[in-house]
Chains A and B, each alone.
Chain A
């Protein structure tokens, strides 16, 4: 029986590779570039508004811009629009902070039926947690190394 034939791992990998859909890399990259660029452009417009109508400088405007973008993400995620955009734009919607916001907010909304402590609290950082972990840990190592080097007078 050929259907019961045991196949080795390598054979399986070959078979899986053959049947895997080829990823349209160029097309994906162009979409990611345009969607990501557009989100950054929207961020720049928000920054511009904060600088001109409120008292922010170009150095401090990053924080309110990020907060505003995440607020917009909350609305788009809640109404189910963000997922539709994210489906075709890949990294274009994942890489901007809106992707981070979407990961947190969608997990929070999805698990609310399990209760606010167990569900929302326990699952909120399920996806975004690794970003915080690796960001904080690498920042710690880098800042520590740099501080030691400065104190030793190397740099």
Chain B
């Protein structure tokens, strides 16, 4: 069942992205930034975690989850060490997406040649 929800919710978030691109005439870069901020806002109201529980990868794969995990990491650390934790804990949960993009980006640059 979670597979169907993953498909539907993941598709829905992409559909929202496409609407932002087509109706408000935004570039993909702007669209992604808007979606990340939306994810962070949803996380602030604690609405994103329930979505992950229910749709699995449908909620973790779209870029909105990036905003969610940033807020999540910051809040986790803030509970332990107060306001300073907001800055220090920010990348605690998010690290996997960024670090793997950097690592595989470097490996890609080492093994592939640019086309055209």
Contact = CB atoms under 8 A, between A and B. Distances in A.
B47 interface: no
A139 B11 contact: no
B97 A44 contact: no
A37 B102 contact: no
Nearest to B30: A130
Contacts of A111: 109, 114
B54 to A, nearest CB: 11
Interface string A101-129: 10011011111110010001000100110
A36 B106 CA distance: 26
Interface residues of B, number: 75
Contact of A147 (B29, B75, B96, B102): B75
A95 to B, nearest CB: 4
Contacts of B50: none
Interface in B55-93: 56-58, 60-63, 65-67, 69-71, 74-75, 78, 82-83, 85-87, 90
| B interface: dominant SS | helix
A43 B90 contact: no
B57 A95 contact: no
Contacts, number: 271
A139 B114 contact: no
Interface size class, chain A: 35 or more
Contact of A36 (B11, B52, B86): B11
A28 B20 CA distance: 12
B13 to A, nearest CB: 6
A33 B14 contact: yes
Interface string B12-35: 111101111111000011111101
Given A101-B101, A128-B101, A143-B74, A44 B37 contact: no
A145 B71 CA distance: 11
Nearest to B70: A139
B40 A124 contact: no
B14 A36 contact: yes
B83 to A, nearest CB: 6
Interface string A25-67: 1001101111111111101111110000000001100111111
A91 B10 contact: no
A80 to B, nearest CB: 6
